[in-house]
Amino acid sequence: MTLLRLYWEFFKTGLFAIGGGMATLPFLKDIGETTGWYTYGELMNMLAVSESTPGPIGINMATYVGFTVSGIPGAVIATVGEITPSIIVILLVAMLLKSFKDNRYVSMAFYGLRPASTGLIGAACISVIFEVLLHIATSGGQLLNSFSFGGSINGKGFVLAAVLLVLTNNVKKVKDLHPIVFILGSAVVGVVFGFAGV
């Protein structure tokens, strides 16, 4: 039953998370709240690992959550659930591409989807900032209506974020570095200075 639930939850996530892996974060938050498979703090750790490993973030998150819930079978089922909608849509688009590529309604639909995906990604970013830097946990999927303050601000996280912001925007040599350098560097800083649990 758990494997079927994993497949269904990630099928829905793959079907509606338009705009990339970060757009899946609100769906993953909802899955954690409704199923109890993981907490929001654990989701943030999963996100950090998923961004640090090769591959699309959405697929990495599905694999990670599936493995956390039901081991290797769960990882496979969740990943298959996540990619099934994309495979179906790609096959349909490939079959109908010639007749729809210049369709005005299709163009308008994609134009309308852009702000929706931007909003999902923005909501995910705000949730991560609230949880990681401010220790404000949101619940019920309502960012502004239901939250609780953890009592402290993550000073180390603010310093690290500020340093990365300055380096990536103002230092010419650093601006040209690959993003993996910053991910690995942040991981090293986290280990050396003990950022876990702050």
Q: What is the mean pLDDT of residues 68-74?
A: 90
Q: How far apart, in whole angstroms, are the C-alpha atoms of residue 51 and residue 44?
A: 11
Are 139 and 160 found together in one domain? no
Are 178 and 90 found together in one domain? no
Q: How far apart, in whole angstroms, are the C-alpha atoms of residue 95 and residue 124?
A: 34
Answer whether residue 198 is part of any domain: no
Looking at residue 80, what is its pLDDT?
93
Domain end, chosen from 116, 133, 149, is at 149
Are 111 and 161 found together in one domain? no
Number of domains in the chain: 2
Whether the per-residue pLDDT at 10 is higher than 60: the answer is: yes
Looking at residue 49, what is its pLDDT?
79
Whether the per-residue pLDDT at 144 is higher than 50: the answer is: no
What pTM does this model have? Answer: 0.54
Are 166 and 72 found together in one domain? no
Count CB neighbours of 81 within 10 A.
24
Answer whether residue 91 is part of any domain: yes
Q: What does the block give as tokens for 76? A: 């496979």
Answer whether residue 27 is part of any domain: yes
Are 63 and 122 found together in one domain? yes
More confident of the two residues 131 and 59 = 59
Domain end, chosen from 149, 168, 184, is at 149
Residue 26's Cα: distance from chain center in Å?
A: 8
Are 98 and 174 found together in one domain? no
> Average model confidence (pLDDT) for the chain?
77
Q: Which residue reads 């949880």 in tokens? A: 131
Are 31 and 96 found together in one domain? yes
Are 133 and 185 found together in one domain? no
User: Per mean pLDDT, which range of 7-16, 40-49, 83-92, 186-195 is the poorest?
Assistant: 186-195
Q: What does the block give as tokens for 184? A: 């690995």
Label residue 145 by pLDDT band (50, 70, 90). Answer: very low
| Sequential DSSP letters for 53-107 | SSS-HHHHHHHHHHHHHHHHHHHHHHHHHHHHHHHHHHHHHHHHHHHHTT-HHHH
Looking at residue 138, what is its pLDDT?
58
Beta carbons of 46 and 29 less than 8 angstroms apart: no
Q: What is the mean pLDDT of residues 192-198?
A: 61
